[in-house]
Amino acid sequence: MKPIEFKNQASQRVYNDYMNRCKRVIKILSDSDQQECLMEVNSYIYEYVNNHQHEEELTALLNIIERLGAPEVTLKEVVASKKINQAVRTFNLKHLIQALSLNLRNGIAYIILFIMTLTLLCFPVVIIMEILNPVKTGLWVGKGHFVFGQVLPQAGVNEVLGNFFIPVVIVLGILLYLLIIFLLKLVKSKKS
């Protein structure tokens, strides 16, 4: 992106500061999305200042910055929307968590998906528990119990997966992850 060059040094500093604020807000996006956002903000600033040459440069710049608003507010929806695209495109867990947390206020579907993702994060914990304490960890069934994790040994409650526990947890984790991505794609297409 080509930065705008101002005649006035103060204008340049104000512009640089605003663009740096924008960069901070969008830094969780992919490089191409960041570039697109910055180019668009840059274009709004350039066109406004260029069309208000009857005003002082700094005044015009301050006016357009006021019209654009705080990047933290104006770019919030843009970032949330682009992050969802990135999450479904890359299948990256980090992007998925970021996308869902940014969209929590956009509907109950995102809250449910976020809870499902938090559940998914428990799966590696269960695997570590199984490695550290295999006697107490597993899928426990019996006497009104159906526990996936750790229980205190009780009569009539048995662990049913044995050595298959870790492979089953891994497979379930992968399936849950694919389900979350599928549902996210579905929610995204339903919303549009």
Interface residues with another protein (CB under 8 A)?
A: 2, 4, 39-44, 46-48, 50-51, 64, 67-69, 73-74, 76-78, 81, 191-192
DSSP string, 79-125: HHHHHHHHHHHH--HHHHHHHHHHTGGG-HHHHHHHHHHHHHHHHHH
Q: Given the complex with another protein, which of 8 and 51 has the nearer CB atom?
A: 51
Q: What are φ and ψ of residue 154, in 5° steps?
A: -135, 150
Minimum distance of another protein from residue 30's CB (angstroms): 15
Minimum distance of another protein from residue 151's CB (angstroms): 46
- Say which amino acid occupies 3: P
User: Taking a C-beta distance cutoff of 8 angstroms, is the pair 33, 72 a contact?
Assistant: no
Q: Given the complex with another protein, which of 51 and 101 has the nearer CB atom?
A: 51
Q: Given the complex with another protein, which of 70 and 115 has the nearer CB atom?
A: 70
Q: Given the complex with another protein, which of 43 and 133 has the nearer CB atom?
A: 43
Among 173, 113, 174, residue whose Cα is nearest residue 148: 173
Minimum distance of another protein from residue 32's CB (angstroms): 12
Minimum distance of another protein from residue 35's CB (angstroms): 11
Tokens of 86: 């990135």
User: Taking a C-beta distance cutoff of 8 angstroms, is the pair 48, 63 a contact?
Assistant: yes
